[in-house]
Structure 1
Amino acid sequence: MATSMAAAIAASLPAPTAATPSSVKPTYDAIPASMSKVIDIQAEIPITSVQLDAMVVSKIIKHGRESAFGTGTLLGLDFDGTVEVSNCFSLPAFPEEEDKAAKAVAQANYQRKVIGHLREVQGDENAVGFYQTTTVPLRQSLVDLQAADNARLRQGGILVVHDPSQASRGIASFRAYRLTPQFMSAYKQKKFATQSLIEHRLTFSSIFEELPIRIHTSALASAFLSMVSKPSSPTTLQSYAARSMTTLARPYSSLPPDFSHLDLGLPSAVTRNLEQVVEGLDSYRTEENNVAYLTRQIAREKTRADAYVTTRKEENARRIAQGLSPLPEEDVSRLFKIPPEPSRLESMLLLGQIDASAKNLEEATGTGLVRIYAAQDP
């Protein structure tokens, strides 16, 4: 009876399962051969262009209207050498007097939280770079922002700069940049002295590499813009009002006419760009005076150190000739505080700002002259 009871209990228990291995290697689907040369897994395909979605462009323009110096993160992916930016979000602004390290930590925490929320709703979460709205390119903040996450982002990431002052005149000014390898090599070494610039062949034009930009608009957005810009037939009320005022009925457009492109806008554009050029020249002259002062200090200390070493050698030679033991050698660096050679990075950035402002001045005056010529009476 006991045997039959044990057999019944054993029969009612589930059959033992085979022991599963402690570690099971995951399996991955192979990339199709037709897409292996397009999908960049190892980040070996160099970036050659940038594609901005229309929503990204509108967000950056809106941020530029709200803040003169706004910063944000670009989200997307790099596909066959093209960085396709499909979304973006702005980063919080902090006062200028706040510590730079604290601001960087706060912005990094905010970026991490936003990307986590996007991951929860299955949104784009891959950061591909940053954007900044500014009227003066090649600022120190732009370089620090891009260089700080150069190793973390694929291909070093990109930087999109938007000029809100030109957007107010109906010109969507967008430029995409990426830091050059020779600049990153000097930046990692923290050496921007004259000899380092010569070795890395660095000038203000070789800090950033500009990439071409194209705007991608979805079919629905294009259809909507086409619908709202197309003239519509007048309604019954509009026709009645037109006849009552003895005027000819004309088609009414959903969008009001915009004559901002006919505005010459020469005085404000030329004045602003001239002011930027003059301010850049003043800042560059001040920086060069500081560098010259530090260079004179270095030369003065080196002359004193060399004179001390020469005097010590002569004294030792005299003592040896007299049969005395030479004086012990001393560390010259402890006796004479020779300051390090000043960095020339700020000078290069100021030269880049002057060059960019001069080019903007050339574009503004060229466009204004064409408008003035077109506005002349025949």
Structure 2
Amino acid sequence: MANPAAAAGPSGGARSFLQAVSTVTEEAPSPLRVVQMEGLAVLKIIKHCEEFAPALVTGQLLGLDVGSVLEVTNCFPFPMREDDEEADADGANYQLEMMRCLREVNVDNNTVGWYQSCLLGSFQTVELIETFMNYQENIRRCVCIVYDPSRSNQGVLALKALKLTDSFMDLYRNNGLTGEKLREKKLSWVDIFEEIPIKVSNSALVSAFMMELEPESPVSQCDFDRLKLQENMARKAAGEEPLPEEDPSNPIFKPIPEPSRLEGYLVTNQISSYCNHINGVAGQNFNRLYLMKALQED
């Protein structure tokens, strides 16, 4: 007689495997923790935004969505926008053609978002939210890389990755941006965008090449001093006076004549006149105000 446990074993194992698979598929995706950008993509974004500044430009981000890390490996710029339907159609055809060309050269052609430039941090617009919602229809997770050329010119790499929060997207899809819904969900203006940390990385070949690069040795300026010291030693051996440190015949070492103080005195006198005039006008007005105050109190 066959063992019932043995007969039920394969089916029980199959059920447990299917249950495990369904459990894995039903698990919620891991939240996005970091945006890892290749150095090439960062340089392309900066170059595109800087060349057309102060005009605002956009482009496509390409890469891979790997767990909690969104990898941005490449990008390409969009043509300048125009407000007609033909331009929109041409832009869509341009994107498809670029994706096809990148696929032919074995470059990542998966869209993971877009990048855009801004001026003085003015990127929080309704158009940005609508673009996010359009991307969310086809892409599960996407980000927007915002670059500010004006701030970067001050010595700060103004590059940030943004995404919409899930709670805000749910309200936006259901047209629930009313005061009651916002209070119910406890959403405020700080809960619209979520900034994701950016990590810049390079491939192993690029990192190895960067390690081999050596800075050029600076030009040594001590040769002139050495020559002058040698000549002075020869002059001392011959009983002559050494050369002076500053050549009096060179106009560089001539003392700079003291500038005239007349202009400074005149400017100071004019400022004093302005201050006296302001004091006189203010004194008269204060006297009138005190007089009116005394009359009103009486």
- Counterpart of 1:51 in structure 2 is 36
- Counterpart of 2:215 in structure 1 is 230
Taking the aligned partners of 2:208 and 2:155, their CA distance within structure 1 comes to 22
Q: 2:65 aligns with which of 73, 78, 86?
A: 78
- Counterpart of 2:195 in structure 1 is 210
In structure 2, the CA distance between the partners of 1:223 and 1:210, relative to structure 1 (3 Å rule), is: same
SS in 2 for 1:149: helix
Q: Is 1:107 aligned with 2:91? A: yes
Are the equivalent residues in 2 in contact too, given 1:158–1:176 (CA < 8 A)? yes
Q: Is 1:89 aligned with 2:76? A: yes
Query: How many equivalent pairs are there?
Result: 202
Residue correspondence of structure 1 range 180-191 to structure 2 within 5 A: 180-191=165-176
In structure 2, the CA distance between the partners of 1:191 and 1:143, relative to structure 1 (3 Å rule), is: same
How big is the alpha-carbon RMSD for the aligned residues of Structure 1 and Structure 2?
3.3
For 1:102-151, what per-residue CA distance to the aligned partner results, in whole angstroms no more than 9, with x for missing partners? Answer: 65544333222211111122211111111111121312232222121112
How far did residue 56 of structure 1 move? 0.7
- Counterpart of 1:167 in structure 2 is 152
How far did residue 90 of structure 1 move? 0.8
TM-score, normalization: structure 2? 0.58
- Counterpart of 1:145 in structure 2 is 131
Deviates more, 1:78-87 or 1:169-178: 169-178
- Counterpart of 1:126 in structure 2 is 110
Are the equivalent residues in 2 in contact too, given 1:180–1:206 (CA < 8 A)? yes
Taking the aligned partners of 1:206 and 1:92, their CA distance within structure 2 comes to 32
**5+ residue gaps, structure 1:** 1-35, 249-378
For 1:22-77, what per-residue CA distance to the aligned partner results, in whole angstroms no more than 9, with x for missing partners? Answer: xxxxxxxxxxxxxx9xxx99982221111011001100110110223111111111
Are the equivalent residues in 2 in contact too, given 1:43–1:154 (CA < 8 A)? no
Deviates more, 1:136-145 or 1:55-64: 136-145
Are the equivalent residues in 2 in contact too, given 1:182–1:201 (CA < 8 A)? no
For 1:289-329, what per-residue CA distance to the aligned partner results, in whole angstroms no more than 9, with x for missing partners? Answer: xxxxxxxxxxxxxxxxxxxxxxxxxxxxxxxxxxxxxxxxx
In structure 2, the CA distance between the partners of 1:89 and 1:194, relative to structure 1 (3 Å rule), is: same
SS in 2 for 1:154: coil
Residue correspondence of structure 1 range 261-340 to structure 2 within 5 A: none
For 1:249-274, what per-residue CA distance to the aligned partner results, in whole angstroms no more than 9, with x for missing partners? Answer: xxxxxxxxxxxxxxxxxxxxxxxxxx
- Identity of matched residues, %: 35
Taking the aligned partners of 2:206 and 2:125, their CA distance within structure 1 comes to 35
Taking the aligned partners of 2:87 and 2:140, their CA distance within structure 1 comes to 24
Give the number of the structure whose alpha-carbon radius of gyration is greater. 2
Look up the equivalent residue of 2:217 and give its one-letter code. Answer: S
Are the equivalent residues in 2 in contact too, given 1:183–1:200 (CA < 8 A)? no
How far did residue 197 of structure 1 move? 2.8
**5+ residue gaps, structure 2:** 1-20, 230-298
How far did residue 188 of structure 1 move? 1.8
TM-score, normalization: structure 1? 0.47
How far did residue 229 of structure 1 move? 5.1
